[in-house]
Amino acid sequence: MATEQPTWERFDRRRRLSRFVLLLVAAVTVVASWRFMDTGVARPETIPREIADLLTRMYPPDVAYTTQIVQPLIETVQIAALGTLGAILLAVPVALLAAENTTPNAATFWLGKLIVTVSRSVNTIIWALFFVVLFGSGPLAGAVAIVFRSIGFLGKLLGEEIEEIDFGQVEAVRASGASSAQILLYGVLPQVKPALVGLSIYRWDINIRDSTVLGFVGAGGIGVELFRAVNAFAWQSVAMVLIVILGVVVVTESLSAYTRGLVR
C-alpha cells in the first residue's frame, strides 16, 4: 500500500526557515563585528605562543612574596565585609521603595527603580573611580564603591522577594494596632529574612571577587599589589598573587554555598 513512505522530520518548513534566518543573522552580526574591529594583529598565529611565553615566565610562583600580600589580602576581605554590610543597610529601604506592594506611591516606586538601575548598570570599578576622587585613594573609597554597586543588586532581588510575600500576615499585624515600623518588623521582615540572609551572603561572595580589582584605580586591596607586580613585570609574584586570590575565592564561594544551603 505504502507507495510513498512519509519520512520523519524534526521541524516543519516554517520553523526550519525561521531557524535558518536566525542563524544567518547571528553569523552576519558576528562576521560584521569582527570586520568592524581594528584588531591590529598582523600575525594571529603568534598569539598562542605569546600566551604560552607569559605563562612560562610565571613559573615557578614566588612563594617568598606571600608575606607581603597577607596584609593587602586582609584589606580586601575587610573591604568586602564593610561594603556588604553598608549595602544591606542601604538596600533595605531601597527594596521597600522598589517593591510594588510596600512603596508609598508611584513616585517613590520609580525612585526605587531608578536607584536600582543606576547602581546595577555602573560597574564597581567605575564607582571606585568616582569615590577615589571623593575620598582620596585607599580602601575606604573601595568599600564605598562596593556599597554603591551592591545596593542595586540587593535592592532589586530583595524587592522581588517583598513583592511575593503573603499580605494577609501584614494585614493581621496592622489589624492588631501596630505602627508602620512594627508592621515592617513583624509583618514583612520575618517573611523575607531567609531571602535577605541568603542574598547578603551571595553578594558578599561576589564582593570578595570584585574587591580584588579595586586596587587598579587606587581603591585598596590586593589589587594594588597585583598591579604593582604586573607593571614591574614580576611575573612570578603575579602568579603568587593570582594563586592566593584563587584560594580566597574558592574558600568564600564554598562558604557562601554552604551557608545559603542552610538558610534555604
Residue indicated by cell numbers 586591596: 221
Collect all residues with Cβ–Cβ distance below 8 Å to 166 and sequence separation of at least 6: 191
Q: Does 18 bind other proteins (CB under 8 A)?
A: no
Residues 175-204 close enough to bind other proteins by CB under 8 A? none
Q: Does 129 bind other proteins (CB under 8 A)?
A: yes
Among 38, 56, 168, 261, binds other proteins (CB under 8 A): 38
Cell of 259: 551557608
The span from the CA of 244 to the CA of 70, in Å, is 9
Query: Nearest CA to 92 among 72, 114, 112?
Result: 112
Q: How far is the CB of 3 from other proteins (least distance, A)?
A: 27
The span from the CA of 189 to the CA of 99, in Å, is 13
Residue indicated by cell numbers 613559573: 59
Q: Does 240 bind other proteins (CB under 8 A)?
A: no
DSSP 185: I
Q: Does 50 bind other proteins (CB under 8 A)?
A: yes
- Which range of residues in 97-105, 156-164, 176-184, 221-229 is near other proteins by CB under 8 A? 221-229
Q: Does 172 bind other proteins (CB under 8 A)?
A: no
Q: Does 138 bind other proteins (CB under 8 A)?
A: yes
SS3 (DSSP) at 146: helix
Cell of 128: 571606585
Interface positions with other proteins (CB under 8 A): 26, 29-30, 32-34, 36-41, 47, 50-51, 53-54, 74-75, 77-79, 81-82, 85, 117-118, 121-123, 125-126, 129, 131, 133-135, 138-140, 142-144, 209-210, 212-213, 216-217, 220, 223, 226-227, 230, 238, 242, 245-246, 249-250, 253, 262-263
